[in-house]
Each structure stands twice: as C-alpha cells, then as structure tokens.
C-alpha cells in the first residue's frame, strides 16, 4: 500500500487548475500556429494572431485564457494500492478546486440549483470521474470545461447496422450545428460505444488527447482523418469568419458495446480547450 | 489590423449606418455588460413598463461575464459569450434604444429583423480571447444587479476594443 497525503493531492489539483486556465496546451498552440501560417483569409488570419497573443498575455499576466473558467471537471485514475491519508479523495479535490478558483481569481460560474439558479454563483462542486487502475500511482487530469462549447454536445443511439458514413455525417452535422457559436476552430471529441453515459464520457475524455495525435486503431484513424477533412471543408473558421481551418483535430475514443446498439456522442472543444495532468 | 475603423461612443446614427458587415472596428468609450440573467431581468422590466436601472438609449451592450479583477486591473478576462442565448430578449432591448450588441456567434432571424428596423448593429469580439480583451478595458464599475456576481451589469470604459461587424444596420451578415 502506498500512502499519499491529502495535502499533496490538494496542492496538485490547485496548481493543475492554475496551469490549465492560464497556459494554452502546447498541442493546441502548435495547431493554431499551423492554422495561422496557412491562412489566406485576412480577417481569419488576424484572429489567429489575436488568439496567440491572448495566450501570451494569459501566461505572462496569469490571466485566464478565457473568462469562462468552466465547470471544473477532474479525472482521477487511482491505483488500487494507493491510500490517501488525511482526508477523503472527493473532499480533498472539492476543497482544492474552490481554493484554487478563489485564489487565482477564476470565475464563479456554478449555480447550485440548476432550476432555481440562485443568483449567488460558486466555484464548485467539480465533476469527478474516478477510474480504478492496477498499481500504486495516482493520475489527476483537470479540465475546466467552458459551456459555450459544452452546450453544443449531441448524442445519438444508432442502429448496430448503421453505415459508417452515417456516423461520419452525424459528427460533421454536430459541428455545423455549433457553427460559429462555440469559439472555433474546434477540437471534436467523439465517444463511440458503451452505454449512453459512457459514450458521453468518452467524448469528453477524447478532448484530452493532443490534437496532433490520432487513434492507434487503423479503422478509427481513417475515420478521424476523413471527418477532419470534411469539417474543414465547412469553412466556418475562427469566429465564423471563414478560412481554411474549422477544426484542429478529431479525436475518437471507442468502447465495446451491446449487440443491439451503437451510441455515438460528440463533445465540442473550443480553441481554448484547457486541460492539465500530473501523475503522483 | 489595417483599414480598421476607429469609432467612439456615443455612436450617432450616421456612424452606425456606415458600418458594413465584415468591417473591423476599434471601439473607444463606454459599453455595458449584460448576459443571460441580466437580459431576463431587463426584458421583464421593459415588459412591465418599470423603470430601468440604466438608460438604454443609444447604448452598447456587451455579452460578457468577466473574471474578478486582479491587483491593479479594472477587470479580469472578459471575452464574449454566445450571443444566441440572448436572442429572445434582444428585440425588446433594441426597441428600448440599444444600438450596438457585442458577442460571439450567430443570431436569429428576429434579431436580424430588429437590427434592421432599429438601425442597430451586431458586432463580434475576438472569441475566447478574454485576456487580450481585458487589456483594452481601462475602467470598470459595477452598475446594477450585483447579486448576479459575474452576470451583473458593469459599466466599462474601453479603448481600442476590437470587433468585427457581423450584422449591419441593413441586415447584411458576415457569418452563415
Ligand atoms: S467556448 Fe471556450 S473559448 Fe469560447 S467562451 Fe466558452 S470556454 Fe471560452
């Protein structure tokens, strides 16, 4: 049994949210630079320049990349041989999120009751996804998820006999539906298989994978490339101004599913898709 | 941006009429923030004929909910939020005298019609660039609805605040 102190977890979660909210992901920065370099549409090009300058300002002045510092989502991969000392994992994470958001002046974007929507908003609670793994390690990944993009989430339960092209078209439709509303160029997270909630979770987790990496499964990689090109032909571009790049990457994750169905979920990530991870 | 047009508030009708979809502008002067809950309240007050906490005539409304201001700054990050969520309230605000809307993304047909009727314009500010835009805000003052936290109405003094004309006063659009 390996013992990790609650204080260490708290410190890790706090700094991860600082990093995620103020430092652009290196894969996204690379992708934006590539998009900027090949852009011939003047307005779109100017937008890329501003987006990259925004990232530089955020980093040096420790300002959030985006004012929507999101609904804090935390993915935990906990080794079965790890024990947290000095507090329960859930409590420690929740405390760390609130402290970090307060300390670093992130936005209180959470209403405690979704229907009453009490006017005083708060920093949490975070959504925590826990996965048990073999071993002694604790991996924590944080994602402050903005809701402009979260609002564009879609899912569909396909028939198991569906043609792949129908799934591809559905994913492209989701991006078309998002249009310029959710801060393109997008990262398109797709979850295929499992149950309804599993597909949605996979779609969100797919946003964590670097945009310049593709699936290792050949048939999935082929789909990713095809959808990527179809989406970029939509010519939505940054802010909807047109241009060559509407998405920076299409990331698909799959999971075994039932003989009777084929869930497909799409979670849109904006150009300010933020995440950071650490293994303790 | 070359060829960008510099405009100062309050904007008179002639200036607004000259703005064309696709044009890049830099705004200097006063703008007011308002997003979902503030819109709900303002539209409610307008409907019931009650007194408004601010004069809407000829004003600019910016859809944003900033992060708290750090030391020595008037405001934190303050990029635009999705405009379409304001669509159902926008015509009544335009009828009440608002001239310019700033946000991101698409608008409904009703908003386009109302902009045409009221000779107003819809601008898009660089989306997802809250830190960059924060640098263009020189002063910020809480005006009303303080209980709404980041959704309160703030009066901002901006300097060279960048935006693109997305729908002009003749209803011409830049985005699909
Ligand atoms: S969609 Fe992303 S970049 Fe745009 S406002 Fe929301 S969090 Fe920020």
The ipTM (two decimal places) reads: 0.95
Residue closest via CA to ligand 1's atom 2 equals A270
Nearest to A276 by CA among A7, A11, A23: A23
Give a yes or no: residue B172 inside a domain: no
How many domains does the structure of chain B reveal? 1
Q: Does ligand 1 come within 6 angstroms of the Cβ of A183?
A: yes
pLDDT of amino acid B3: 78
Which DSSP string corresponds to A23-85? S--HHHHHHHHHHHHH---HHHHHHHHHHHHHHHHHHHHT--SSS---EEEEEEEEETTEEEE
> First and final CA of chain B: distance in angstroms?
23
Give residue B1's pLDDT.
72
* pLDDT for the residue B124: 97
In the block, residue with structure tokens 């936005």? A107
The answer to whether residue B176 is domain-embedded is: no
Report the distance separating Cα A47 and Cα A43, nearest Å.
6
Q: What is the pLDDT of residue B175?
A: 67
Residue B101, strand partner residues: B61, B122
In a domain, B53, yes or no: yes
Q: Is residue B120 part of a domain?
A: yes
pLDDT of residue A118 exceeding 90: no
Confidence tier at A206 by pLDDT (50, 70, 90): very high
Name the residue in chain A with its Cα closest to that of B107. Answer: A181
Ligand 1 atom having least distance to the Cα of B81: 5
Residue B94 is part of a domain; what is its CATH number? 3.20.130.10
Ligand 1 pocket member B127 (CB < 6 A)? yes
The residue of chain A nearest to residue B68, with distances taken between CA atoms, is A105
Question: Is the Cβ of A108 closer than 8 Å to some Cβ of chain B?
Answer: yes
B175, part of any domain: no
Q: Measured from the CB, is residue A242 less than 6 Å from ligand 1? A: no
Q: What is the pLDDT of residue A119?
A: 63
Task: Note whether residue B174 is domain-resident.
Answer: no
> For B104-150, what is each residue's pLDDT tens digit?
999 999 999 999 999 999 999 999 999 999 999 999 999 999 999 99
**The pLDDT of residue B109:** 97
Query: Looking at the whole model, is its pTM more than 0.90?
Result: yes
Establish if B158 belongs to a structural domain. Answer: yes
| Minimum CA distance residue for ligand 1 atom 3 | B128
Which domain range does residue B41 map to? 5-167
Q: Is A116 on the interface with B (CB under 8 A)?
A: no
Judged by a CB distance cut-off of 8 A, whether residue A233 touches chain B is no
For the cut 60, the answer to whether the pLDDT of residue A79 exceeds it is: yes
Active-site positions of B read: 39
Average pLDDT across chain B, whole number: 95
The answer to whether residue B144 is domain-embedded is yes
With a CB cutoff of 8 Å and minimum separation 6, the contacts of A257 are A192, A193, A194, A195, A263
Both structure tokens of A15: 């700094």
Token pair 């990530």: residue: A269
Q: Is some CB atom of chain A closer than 8 A to the CB atom of B131? A: yes
Q: DSSP 3-state assignment of A211?
A: coil
Band of residue A117 on the pLDDT scale cut at 50, 70, 90: confident
Question: Which residues is A110 bridged to in the sheet?
Answer: A122
pLDDT for A209-241, tens place per residue? Answer: 999 999 999 999 999 999 999 999 999 999 999
Cα separation, A217 vs A206, whole angstroms: 14
């Amino acid at each position: 049994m390996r013992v990790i102190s609650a204080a260490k977890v708290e410190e890790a979660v706090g700094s991860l949210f600082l990093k995620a909210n103020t430092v652009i992901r290196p894969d996204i920065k690379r992708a934006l630079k590539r998009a900027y370099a090949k852009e011939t549409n003047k307005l779109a090009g100017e937008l890329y320049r501003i987006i990259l300058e925004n990232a530089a300002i955020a980093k040096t002045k420790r300002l959030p990349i985006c004012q929507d510092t999101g609904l804090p989502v935390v993915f935990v991969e906990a080794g079965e041989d790890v024990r947290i000392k000095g507090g329960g994992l859930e409590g420690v994470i929740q405390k760390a999120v609130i402290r970090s958001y307060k300390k670093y002046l992130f936005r209180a974007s959470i209403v405690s009751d979704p229907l009453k929507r009490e006017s005083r908003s708060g920093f949490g609670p975070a959504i925590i996804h826990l996965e048990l793994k073999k071993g002694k390690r604790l991996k924590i990944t944080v994602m402050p998820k903005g809701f402009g993009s979260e609002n564009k989430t879609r899912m569909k339960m396909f028939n198991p006999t569906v043609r792949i092209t129908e799934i591809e078209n559905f994913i492209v439709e989701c991006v078309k539906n998002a249009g310029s509303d959710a801060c393109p160029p997008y990262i398109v997270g797709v979850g295929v298989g499992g149950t309804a909630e599993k597909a949605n979770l996979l779609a969100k987790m797919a946003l964590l994978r670097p945009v310049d990496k593709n699936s290792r499964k050949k048939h999935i990689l082929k789909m990713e490339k095809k959808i990527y090109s179809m989406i970029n032909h939509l010519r939505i571009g940054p802010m909807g101004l047109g241009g060559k790049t509407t998405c920076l990457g299409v990331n698909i994750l799959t999971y075994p599913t039932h003989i009777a169905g084929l869930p497909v979920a799409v979670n849109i990530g904006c150009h300010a898709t933020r995440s950071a991870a650490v293994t303790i | 941006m070359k060829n960008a047009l510099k405009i100062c508030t309050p904007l008179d009708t002639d200036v607004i009429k000259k703005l064309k979809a696709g044009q890049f502008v830099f705004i200097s002067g006063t703008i007011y923030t308002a997003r979902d809950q503030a819109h709900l309240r303002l539209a409610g007050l307008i409907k019931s004929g009650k007194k408004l906490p601010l004069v809407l005539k000829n004003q600019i409304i910016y859809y944003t909910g900033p992060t708290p201001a750090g030391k020595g700054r008037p405001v934190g990050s303050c990029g635009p939020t999705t405009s379409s969520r304001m669509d159902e309230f926008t015509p009544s605000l335009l009828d009440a005298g608002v001239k310019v809307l700033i946000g991101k993304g698409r608008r409904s047909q009703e908003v386009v019609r109302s902009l045409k009727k009221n000779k107003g314009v819809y601008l898009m500010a660089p989306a997802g660039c809250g830190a960059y835009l924060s640098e263009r805000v020189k002063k910020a003052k809480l005006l009303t609805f303080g209980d709404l936290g980041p959704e309160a109405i703030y009066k901002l003094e901006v300097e060279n605040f960048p935006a693109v004309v997305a729908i002009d006063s003749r209803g011409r659009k830049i985005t699909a």
